């Protein structure tokens, strides 16, 4: 591909009227393999010098525009060699592309177009037309399919008017002129890439063919107003988050996000985005980025995020629909290296991916780092709007272990290491995988955490299981966003766990503006009914009334949650008839871990607390838990 930078906007147009019609599938001579509607969704509303020329509705799921039509210009602009046909002069004009990012027409440079371009067009200049002249055009796509335009005809007299150009695409003829420039326009976004051939005909005879190449990528740096801006983390020596590292060392994800936000009209450098995230609690405790805070928070909800596993068809489609996407790469020995880059398209033969490398601000292929990618962040630009667009739920888990989340319909996401069961794709828009600080090849790998992300969570109750895969303490950082982007969170820290032990939590989520995430223990103690009394005390460990300890173990780490409605000073705890209330803080709305010293045999723990129901009535929740020490 040649790379040149020259003016690509044609000026001096005297008048442009845009009128378009949609060709039915029956008018396409050969099968058109591009998906979508017949083009009835297409609306042409304004002049060519207006960026919103083609007004495409992107409400909800994006619509594939399969339209065809003819634009015209009077008088014609003539700048190409002439081809004369029987009394008139027909001149081959420029090839055009309707660029997706800026939403405006641009002349093709070196006959290059790109798979994000919404439309492509071929101009034809006509002067001194004579009665009975007929022009037609078709285009041959790389897959061999052909799209055909209805004819353009000239009449010296037509319906009481003189010197008229007539097209089925136009509501009225263009009259009182024998000279015209037309542009044959067809949809191109997401269509087959490769060589396209426009063929123009006069009275059935081929006048000239004209070819261009449609590349499967976003325009590169040679197109400075359309490309994805290039940033390199190595150029930024600012302290990354509040860590010991610099952006140059750990800022590849930060740098990738800055490139994508800048592409979508929210210009920001890695340094400025780093400051924003520090000031808006956009980093987790390890320095990992909460991507929703970075993408949706910085853009004010105009740019949307999802995290998805590897899906080549989905990723390619996302690039030509939505723009650049963020890839997470695993490289090096056993895939221990982690690096984030921006995916901008595919190579010409679609054998690999083209990327903006966030390390050193270069346009390269993914093979510089790895053969493939681990997952990707689907980034949807501001031209698309969604109901509840700023909702989200993210859970970060810092410890050797696994997570499984279950929604109110019983659908799951995560990995159960005890049974060896992977749950994927049951909960819509959910993702489970590794997260953490990335590292360059010369650095030692950073410990990786686990993450559950649900981009548009259903309202209601979720059960979260923490499954230990080793002995140690774990932290949970849980973030929830309502439909307006309001964030609430719950951090659960330093919870002891051992191999094959399961802790459970209940998360109550609402999309309503101003709502707060509620997190309690997954086990209510089975003490009282009704349920609102029984939830005054809840537990993530134990998960049942009777717990049998492993041989040789004589302590138990009780993980207890106190409801916001409990009455301070009413909590009591008794273990084997001994008062141990002083071991508990019993603060309303808080949770804690209390280490219990047990004796061989049967141990009975009785816990009670008073609280107020929503009706104002006072009630008591009493739980009786049993621990068996072999």
Q: What residues form DSSP beta bridges with 72? A: 17, 182
Rounded mean pLDDT, 155-162:
96
What is the overall mean pLDDT for the chain? 85
> Domain for residue 627, yes or no?
yes
Is residue 506 located within the same domain as residue 594?
A: no
In a shared domain, residues 279 and 373: yes
Sorting pLDDT into bands at 50, 70 and 90, what band is 436? Answer: confident
Say whether both 182 and 279 belong to one domain: no
Residues 461 and 495 grouped into a single domain: yes
SS (H, E, C) 177-216: CCCEEEEEEEECCCCCCEEEEEEEEECCEEEEEEEEEEEC
CB proximity list for 545: less than 8 A, separation 6 or greater: 525, 526, 624, 625, 626
Domain boundary (318, 345, 380) is at 380
On whether residue 286 sits in a domain, the answer given is yes
CB atoms within 10 A of CB 312: 12
Residue 8 in any domain: the answer is no
Lowest mean pLDDT among 82-91, 226-235, 404-413: 82-91
**Domain termination site, one of 331, 365, 380:** 380
Q: Are residues 210 and 266 in the same domain?
A: no
Question: Does residue 119 register a pLDDT over 80?
Answer: yes
Tell me the per-residue pLDDT of 236-294, one tens digit each, with 9 for 90 and over. 999 999 999 999 999 999 999 999 999 999 999 999 999 999 999 999 999 999 999 99
475 is a domain residue? yes
At residue 73, the pLDDT reads 63
Q: Is the pTM of this model over 0.75?
A: yes
Q: Please say whether the beta carbons of 452 and 458 come within 8 A.
A: no
Q: What is the pLDDT of residue 5?
A: 36
Assess whether 455 and 583 both reside in one domain.
no
Query: Mean of the pLDDT values across residues 92-108?
Result: 90
Q: Which domain range does residue 498 map to?
A: 387-522
pLDDT in tens, 280-299: 999 999 999 999 999 999 99
Same domain, 411 and 350: no
Q: Per-residue pLDDT for 303 more than 90?
A: yes
Structure tokens at 344: 């901008």
Q: Edge to edge, what strands does the sheet with 601-612 contain?
A: 546-548, 618-629, 601-612, 572-575, 578-579
pLDDT of residue 386: 63
| 296, part of any domain | yes
For residue 395, the Cα-to-chain-centroid distance in whole angstroms is 18
Please state the rounded mean pLDDT for residues 563-580: 96
403 in a domain, yes or no? yes
Residue 258 sits in the same domain as residue 286: yes
In a domain, 540, yes or no: no
> How many whole angstroms separate alpha carbon 150 and alpha carbon 557?
78
At which of 188, 215, 242 does a domain end?
215
Alpha helices in 417-576 (DSSP H): 531-534
Query: How many domains does the structure of the chain reveal?
Result: 4
Tell me what pLDDT residue 438 has: 86
Window from 72-86, 136-150, 570-584 with minimum mean pLDDT: 72-86
Span 452-489, pLDDT tens digits: 999 989 999 999 999 999 999 999 999 999 999 999 99
The helix or strand, by DSSP H or E, that contains position 433, with its residue range, turns out to be: strand 430-435
What does 327-378 look like in DSSP terms, one character per residue? Answer: EEEEESGGG-EEEEEEEEEE-TTSSSEEEEETTTTEEEEGGGT-SS-SEEEE
Indicate whether 409 and 432 sit together in one domain: yes
In terms of Cα–Cα distance, which of 41, 45, 46, 44 is closest to 62?
Answer: 41
CATH of the domain at 555: 2.60.40
Residues 513 and 551 placed together within one structural domain of the fold: no
Please state, for a pLDDT cut of 90, what percent of the chain lies above it. 73
Backbone angles phi, psi at 291, to 5 degrees: -60, -35
Residue 35 lies in a domain: yes
Residue of 98, 172, 168, 101 whose CA lies nearest to 134: 168
Shared domain for 344 and 413, answered yes or no, is no
CATH number at residue 237: 3.90.70.10
Residues 46 and 135 in one domain: yes
């Amino acid at each position: 591909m040649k790379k040149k930078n020259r003016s690509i906007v044609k000026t001096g147009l005297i008048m442009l009227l845009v009128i378009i019609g949609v060709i039915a599938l029956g008018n396409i001579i050969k099968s058109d393999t591009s998906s979508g509607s017949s083009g009835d969704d297409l609306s042409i509303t304004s002049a060519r010098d207006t960026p919103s020329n083609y007004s495409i509705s992107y409400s909800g799921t994006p619509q594939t525009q399969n339209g065809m039509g003819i634009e015209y210009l009077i008088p014609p602009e003539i700048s190409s060699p002439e081809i004369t046909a029987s009394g008139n002069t027909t001149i081959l004009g420029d090839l055009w592309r309707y660029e997706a990012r800026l939403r405006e027409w641009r002349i093709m440079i070196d006959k290059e177009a790109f798979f994000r371009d919404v439309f492509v067009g071929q101009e034809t200049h006509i002067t001194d037309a004579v009665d009975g002249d007929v022009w037609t055009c078709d285009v041959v796509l790389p897959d061999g399919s052909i799209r055909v335009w209805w004819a353009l005809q000239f009449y010296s007299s037509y319906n009481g008017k003189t010197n008229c150009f007539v097209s089925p695409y136009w509501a009225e003829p263009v009259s009182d002129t024998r000279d015209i420039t037309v542009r044959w326009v067809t949809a191109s976004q997401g269509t087959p890439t490769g060589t396209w051939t426009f063929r123009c005909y006069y009275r059935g005879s081929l006048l000239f063919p004209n070819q261009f190449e449609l590349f499967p990528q976003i325009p590169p740096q040679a197109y400075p107003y359309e490309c994805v801006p290039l940033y390199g983390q190595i150029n930024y020596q600012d302290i990354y988050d509040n860590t010991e590292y610099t952006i140059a060392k750990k800022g590849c994800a930060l740098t990738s996000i800055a490139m994508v936000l800048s592409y979508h009209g929210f210009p920001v450098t890695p340094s400025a985005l780093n400051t924003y995230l520090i000031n808006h609690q956009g980093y987790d405790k390890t320095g990992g980025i909460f991507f929703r805070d970075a993408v949706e928070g910085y853009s004010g909800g105009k740019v949307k995020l999802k995290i998805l596993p590897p899906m080549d068809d989905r990723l390619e489609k996302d690039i030509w629909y939505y723009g650049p996407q963020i890839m997470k790469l695993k490289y090096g020995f056993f895939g221990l290296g982690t690096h984030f880059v921006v995916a901008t398209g595919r190579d010409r033969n679609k054998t690999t991916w083209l990327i903006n490398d966030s390390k050193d601000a270069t346009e390269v292929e993914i093979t510089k780092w790895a053969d493939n990618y681990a997952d990707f962040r689907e980034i949807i630009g501001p031209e698309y709007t969604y109901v509840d667009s700023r909702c989200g739920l993210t859970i970060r888990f810092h410890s050797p272990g696994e997570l499984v989340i279950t929604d109110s319909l019983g659908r799951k996401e995560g990995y159960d290491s005890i049974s060896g069961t992977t749950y994927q794709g049951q909960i819509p828009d959910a993702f489970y995988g590794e997260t953490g600080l990335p590292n360059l090849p010369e650095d030692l790998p950073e410990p990786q955490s686990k993450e559950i992300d649900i981009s548009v969570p259903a309202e209601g109750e979720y059960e979260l299981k923490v499954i230990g895969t080793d002995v140690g303490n774990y932290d949970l950082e849980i973030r929830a966003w309502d439909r307006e982007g309001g964030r609430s969170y719950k951090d659960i820290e330093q919870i002891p766990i051992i191999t094959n032990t399961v802790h459970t939590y209940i998360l109550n989520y609402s999309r309503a503006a101003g709502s707060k995430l509620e997190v309690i223990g997954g086990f209510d103690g089975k003490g009282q009914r009704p349920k609102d009394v029984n939830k005054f005390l809840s537990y993530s460990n134990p998960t049942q009334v009777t717990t049998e300890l492993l041989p040789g173990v004589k302590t138990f780490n009780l993980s207890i949650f106190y409801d916001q409605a409990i009455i301070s000073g009413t909590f009591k705890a008794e273990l084997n008839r001994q008062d141990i209330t002083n071991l508990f803080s019993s603060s309303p709305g808080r949770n804690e871990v209390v280490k219990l010293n047990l004796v061989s045999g049967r141990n009975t723990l009785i816990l009670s607390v008073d609280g107020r129901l929503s009706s104002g009535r006072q009630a008591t929740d009493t739980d009786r838990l049993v621990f068996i020490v072999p």
